[in-house]
Structure 1
Amino acid sequence: MSTDSLRGSFSVPWGHRTSHDSNPYTEAPVTQRTRRYDFNISRGVIAPDGYEKRVILVNGQFPGPLIEANWGDYIEVNVHNNILDQPQEGTSIHWHGFLQTRNVWDDGTPGVSQCPIAPGKSFTYKFRAELYGTSWYHSHYSAQYASGLFGPIVVYGPHNAVQDIDLGPIFVSDWWHEEYYATVKKVMSPGFEGRAFSDNNLINGRMNFNCSTVDAGDTTKCSNNAELSKFKFQSGKAHRLRFINSGAEGVQRISIDEHTMTVIANDFVEIEPYDTTVVTLGIGQRVDVVVKANQNPTGAYWLRSNLTSCSNAKQPFAFAAIYYDKANTKAKPVSTPWDVPDPGTCANDDLALTKPSFPIKLPEPSWTQNMDISVTRNSSGILLWQFGGVAARVDYNSPTLLQVKNNNFNFEPEMNVMNFGGNSSIRFIVNNPTPAPHPMHAHGANMYILSAGPGNYTNTPIVRPENPMRRDVQMVQPFGHVVVQIDSTNPGVWPFHCHIAWHASAGFFSQMIFQPDEIIRGYGSGSGSGPFVPPRVSQTCRDWDAFTKKVVLDQIDSGF
């Protein structure tokens, strides 16, 4: 990939645009550049914490390779499904947080915007970096990303704080030792009580593990004292760290011993900087911080990521080492953690603190939708998560988007489709009367975050309606609520779901149809009116149909 005009370049394509005076949704520069990547998806065996596990990886890497682009660039990724050993699986890649404006075909959601990529076949995604900051990509086929199929994305753009050194993306992630589908089978078994416990917690794909704690009879190869992730601080410099929670279930609390973090961005949204010692990060969320290296230049310090008390974890603590430029890198840090007790709420920082750099006034909603969270057991005794009263499921062979494209709006109830027609902005009131937290993620848009807190929503005042927080994932705490608003002007079928992998597997998602008339007309096709489906999308469905005629698909979960 060509890296000119990326990190470290003297001139930048966004010119004089800043995060304060440039609308990130309408003023992206026209760079006329396309950044191209090839992804080979296949199985492998790794031991990121010393315990060997069969996984699914991109280009044999864990985490997957970094995608880099400048604000306004296009990104093109040719994805090859080489999961050819047994059991063969489909796949797809979702580009988390990317708006995909008038480009829903590249959202990467099987059963919604495309058929899965069949084993031995390929699919090319192309989309624009309309926003800038830190994000990630991951499989959206069942809970497949929990097997290691994810990687980082950095889109360079304006920033609102002094930073001398960009240390790049840092994943924090709970980790299961069994294969992802074994966990799916447990979650979807009769009598399951609703809690699946992770075995470990990783920082940038590394941590150690006490092999003496494995279950009785487990003979899997395991080595103690696996290597930890390490980072370098230059004394006196300001370092940017881009944290991403890529886990399957757990909420993380991140801190650096004896260092204050200045928060500068949440998800793809630059915010007015504020200082903190701990940040809370739900699955799919990102936080960018700047840390001044103002401690002992010979010192070493622990970077900590702890799974919160409302997460399900056998071993919740992850560590990485930060060494100053004159430190002994062979010695373990001896540093003092911050004394900030876990509040047990799994809530994000107070909305009053998180103020977007570029102000956008909240529009009046054209529709308000109540979407309560609940659990139920079906006739087989399987525990299902309901969103708006429905436990959802996709049909891989018949994506919802193609059904809409064919002007067919007769949806099966289990698809959990909400057709918002030509509405301009939808307000969602989400009450969570369950003991579990949920990271709520919307595709195809940034959400305005209007209210979040304990108990059901009771018409409490909107937080800063002249410039509410915006992001693509927001935590709703146990026995709490969140109120969000989504501008529904981007034509497409867009998922709105909990990002806990096991909850989505058990039905916790919905599908939002925005501007269906434009979908049918074939926006952006150059064909005027009439149906338009990209040939690569049609071919992928033909390939998947051929595959599923030869192989009986073991779809025991929602598929999403």
Structure 2
Amino acid sequence: MAKASTLGVWLLLATLAFVARAANVTVNWDITYVYNVNPDGLAARWVIGVNGSWPIPAINVTEGDLLILSVKNSLNVSTSLHTHGMFQNGTGYYDGVPGVVQCPIQPGQSFTYRIPMQQHGTYWIHAHYKGQYGDGLRTALIIKPKAAEVYKYDQEYTVVLSDWYHTPHDDLMVWFMSPYNPTGSEPIPDSTLINDNSDNSTFAITAGKTYRFRLINVSLMPSMFISIDGHNMTIIEVDGIDVQPYTVQSFAITTAQRYSILVTALNTTTQNFQFHADTDPSMLDFPDKCTKPNATATLIYNATAPTAVMDRVPWNMTFNDMELVPVVPVAAVDPDTSFELNVILNVFDDASNHATFNNIVYAAPPVTPALWTALTMGPQATDPTVYGQNSHPLVLQHNQMVQVVINNLDVKGHPFHLHGHVFQVVFRSTEAGQYYNSSIVIPPQPNPVRRDTVIVPGTGSAVLRFRADNPGIWLIHCHIEWHFEAGLAATFIEAPLEIQSRIAVPQELSNFCTNNGFKTSGNAMGNNGTDLTGYQLTAQPLSGNFETKGIISLVVTIVVALLGLGTVVWFGHHQ
């Protein structure tokens, strides 16, 4: 009894200590333009920063804290912010996707996100509006655990990896969607950056100590290969999930993914060593156009010592994140429902290249954000029709085990991110042309890797599973920003009846929407039932037959050709 009593007292004290540590962490951001920024040393341009400066400082909090992110939009365009990787259980209205769970923060307006830190690990905050994070509106979010860390280390560094463009994102997006880009080639980044610098970042290292490096890829597009000259790296975290130690010499990190690695310093102070982040050239149509595809930082053992010149570690193309084993085991179970999402990139009837799931060009609801449709449509909230076809709504029942099959019909790999959840990756193809079908047997898996962003290889597939235990409206989308804006997304309407009974949206959020011209009741058009009068579909696939405009163009071309030929013949006869 004495031991039990002592244990009870210890648990009470631990609980009280945690409550005492939990705090409201207030961060004030005035989102502004910052001019004459030149992170790669090649060209100065404006960026989007906060409080008049850039880069934006990382946010560090503790599990159990409440992050109060108070935002003023001092841009001349709208914006919104997404806390990437946060479950937002019960607070999905702060997930930051405009037209889905909030209304955009228009110029001159202020908005406050109140986000409970329900997890620990490595995350980031970024704009979820028209690719603004590519113009600089992004930073790291580091959440320390309320208990002791799983792994011991002496010090840690946060490493933000990014592509960088000398041309603003909106201008590049116009070109990307233009009919004058018929092959759909994505814009080529000008440089690769480490902590917003191409080759001057440093990490102070003491011989014999162990360091945690938290890596975050915030790029608009490419994956990167990571290596450190003369050092092994031991992966201990992936997308906020602690994993069993996995030692590599190099590995790939795709856009939106996060890894933590442990690096034990050498017992030497005679040399310094380079940290490499190399852009994956296979993701670029014209890799030679990238001026600085590879960035370096330096591990400084001794400020007066030379930097070691070493043979490069080969890119570990065989690294397989599916071999990572979570510390907290969760067994895979058979799904209750399954959705097949086929990745299709093609020219649509607006003469632009679009990226889609199942040939549906995604767009957010135009009048009523999907969250308010789910809240106000009663039993009809379970009918995907009321959310509008453009949002590609997929309705989930509460606590179902959901399986998502992604068949990537494109020749390039795509990173897919799910909001509000981590998923288990229970299958991924290992060879080109391997699409998932029912003949492929997925064996029992006691503890498959869990993460929130996965790369699906070109002409390949992946099978993801997650429990629908977080009522809310959650996007699944490609995190190559060019593809997301071109339509490669779908919307999970998760447990809409539970949304109605459990989610209480603060009145200030509803008022914010109505004051900006949006409706907070009814279907996607703000009407009752399935009356979607006025709803316009996004671009549609070409029929494969001659369209009217095509026929007219062909006829005009033939007439002009005949007139030209007749003119040549006439001149020939009159010489």
TM-score by length of 2: 0.81
* Alignment map for 1:122-141 (pairs within 5 Å): 122-141=110-129
Deviates more, 1:361-370 or 1:270-279: 361-370
In the other structure, the counterpart of 1:105 is 93
In the other structure, the counterpart of 2:194 is 203
**Alpha-carbon distance between aligned partners in 1 of 2:44 and 2:346, rounded to the nearest angstrom:** 35
Provide closer, same or farther for how the CA distance between residues 107 and 159 of structure 1 changes in structure 2, counting only shifts above 3 A.
same
1:334 aligns with 2:308: yes
In the other structure, the counterpart of 1:21 is none
What amino acid does structure 1 have at the position aligned with 2:39?
P
1:540 aligns with 2:512: yes
Q: Is the 8 A contact 1:110 1:396 kept in 2?
A: no
Q: Is the 8 A contact 1:161 1:273 kept in 2?
A: no
Q: How many residue pairs align between the two structures?
A: 488
* Deviations 1:340-395, CA, capped at 9 Å, x for gaps: 1464xxx862412x000011112331101111111122222100011133110124
In the other structure, the counterpart of 2:300 is 323
Q: Which has the higher contact order (CA 8 A, sep 6+)?
A: 1
Q: 1:507 aligns with which of 464, 484, 487?
A: 487
SS of the residue corresponding to residue 54 of structure 1 reads strand
**Alpha-carbon distance between aligned partners in 2 of 1:520 and 1:279, rounded to the nearest angstrom:** 44
**Alpha-carbon distance between aligned partners in 2 of 1:185 and 1:545, rounded to the nearest angstrom:** 26
Provide closer, same or farther for how the CA distance between residues 415 and 135 of structure 1 changes in structure 2, counting only shifts above 3 A.
same
Rg comparison, structure with higher value:
2
1:305 aligns with 2:296: no
1:59 aligns with 2:59: no
SS of the residue corresponding to residue 67 of structure 2 reads strand
SS of the residue corresponding to residue 416 of structure 2 reads strand
* Alignment map for 1:544-559 (pairs within 5 Å): 544-545=516-517
**Alpha-carbon distance between aligned partners in 2 of 1:451 and 1:492, rounded to the nearest angstrom:** 26
What amino acid does structure 1 have at the position aligned with 2:435?
N
In the other structure, the counterpart of 2:155 is 165
In the other structure, the counterpart of 1:262 is 234
CA displacement at 1:402 relative to structure 2: 1.4
**Alpha-carbon distance between aligned partners in 1 of 2:392 and 2:33, rounded to the nearest angstrom:** 32
Q: Is the 8 A contact 1:59 1:65 kept in 2?
A: no
In the other structure, the counterpart of 2:529 is none
Q: Is the 8 A contact 1:451 1:483 kept in 2?
A: yes
**Alpha-carbon distance between aligned partners in 2 of 1:240 and 1:492, rounded to the nearest angstrom:** 34
* Alignment map for 1:226-375 (pairs within 5 Å): 228-312=200-284, 313=287, 314=290, 315-324=292-301, 326-328=302-304, 333-341=307-315, 343=317, 349-352=320-323, 354-375=324-345
CA displacement at 1:295 relative to structure 2: 4.8
1:413 aligns with 2:386: no
Provide closer, same or farther for how the CA distance between residues 370 and 545 of structure 1 changes in structure 2, counting only shifts above 3 A.
same
Provide closer, same or farther for how the CA distance between residues 511 and 43 of structure 1 changes in structure 2, counting only shifts above 3 A.
same
In the other structure, the counterpart of 1:145 is 133
**Alpha-carbon distance between aligned partners in 2 of 1:141 and 1:125, rounded to the nearest angstrom:** 16
What amino acid does structure 2 have at the position aligned with 1:541?
C
Q: 2:435 aligns with which of 433, 456, 476?
A: 456
What amino acid does structure 2 have at the position aligned with 1:273?
P
SS of the residue corresponding to residue 504 of structure 1 reads helix
Q: Is the 8 A contact 1:242 1:286 kept in 2?
A: yes
Provide closer, same or farther for how the CA distance between residues 275 and 13 of structure 1 changes in structure 2, counting only shifts above 3 A.
farther
**Alpha-carbon distance between aligned partners in 2 of 1:281 and 1:13, rounded to the nearest angstrom:** 41
What amino acid does structure 2 have at the position aligned with 1:317?
N
CA displacement at 1:495 relative to structure 2: 0.3
CA displacement at 1:487 relative to structure 2: 1.1
In the other structure, the counterpart of 2:38 is 47
Alignment identity in percent?
27
Q: Is the 8 A contact 2:82 2:95 kept in 1?
A: yes
SS of the residue corresponding to residue 517 of structure 2 reads helix
CA displacement at 1:32 relative to structure 2: 4.1
* Deviations 1:442-493, CA, capped at 9 Å, x for gaps: 0011111111223212454547621111011111111111110121121111
**Alpha-carbon distance between aligned partners in 2 of 1:63 and 1:477, rounded to the nearest angstrom:** 32
CA displacement at 1:30 relative to structure 2: 8.7
SS of the residue corresponding to residue 113 of structure 1 reads coil
Whose helix proportion is higher, 1 or 2? 2
CA displacement at 1:338 relative to structure 2: 3.6
**Alpha-carbon distance between aligned partners in 2 of 1:436 and 1:287, rounded to the nearest angstrom:** 22
* Deviations 1:182-212, CA, capped at 9 Å, x for gaps: 111112211422222111100000016xxxx
**Alpha-carbon distance between aligned partners in 2 of 1:480 and 1:374, rounded to the nearest angstrom:** 12
**Alpha-carbon distance between aligned partners in 1 of 2:495 and 2:78, rounded to the nearest angstrom:** 29
Deviates more, 1:287-296 or 1:536-545: 536-545
1:114 aligns with 2:93: no
**Alpha-carbon distance between aligned partners in 2 of 1:435 and 1:42, rounded to the nearest angstrom:** 39
SS of the residue corresponding to residue 261 of structure 2 reads strand
Q: Is the 8 A contact 2:428 2:461 kept in 1?
A: yes
CA displacement at 1:311 relative to structure 2: 2.0
SS of the residue corresponding to residue 542 of structure 1 reads helix
Q: 2:179 aligns with which of 174, 177, 190?
A: 190
SS of the residue corresponding to residue 90 of structure 1 reads coil
CA displacement at 1:122 relative to structure 2: 1.0
What amino acid does structure 2 have at the position aligned with 1:421?
Q
CA displacement at 1:159 relative to structure 2: 2.8
CA displacement at 1:412 relative to structure 2: 2.1
Q: 2:449 aligns with which of 466, 469, 478?
A: 469
What amino acid does structure 2 have at the position aligned with 1:400?
A
**Alpha-carbon distance between aligned partners in 1 of 2:426 and 2:315, rounded to the nearest angstrom:** 27
1:376 aligns with 2:343: no
CA displacement at 1:524 relative to structure 2: 4.8
What amino acid does structure 2 have at the position aligned with 1:368?
S
In the other structure, the counterpart of 1:530 is none
**Alpha-carbon distance between aligned partners in 1 of 2:73 and 2:94, rounded to the nearest angstrom:** 16
Q: 2:419 aligns with which of 429, 435, 443?
A: 443
SS of the residue corresponding to residue 310 of structure 1 reads helix
What amino acid does structure 2 have at the position aligned with 1:362?
A
**Alpha-carbon distance between aligned partners in 1 of 2:151 and 2:269, rounded to the nearest angstrom:** 23
CA displacement at 1:136 relative to structure 2: 0.4
SS of the residue corresponding to residue 509 of structure 2 reads helix
**Alpha-carbon distance between aligned partners in 1 of 2:112 and 2:491, rounded to the nearest angstrom:** 24
Q: Is the 8 A contact 1:451 1:460 kept in 2?
A: no
**Alpha-carbon distance between aligned partners in 1 of 2:12 and 2:444, rounded to the nearest angstrom:** 32
* Deviations 1:234-261, CA, capped at 9 Å, x for gaps: 1110011000000000101111111000
Query: What is the CA RMSD across the aligned residues, in angstroms?
Result: 2.4
Deviates more, 1:297-306 or 1:187-196: 187-196
Provide closer, same or farther for how the CA distance between residues 55 and 438 of structure 1 changes in structure 2, counting only shifts above 3 A.
same
**Alpha-carbon distance between aligned partners in 2 of 1:377 and 1:151, rounded to the nearest angstrom:** 34
Q: Is the 8 A contact 2:391 2:490 kept in 1?
A: yes
In the other structure, the counterpart of 2:406 is 430
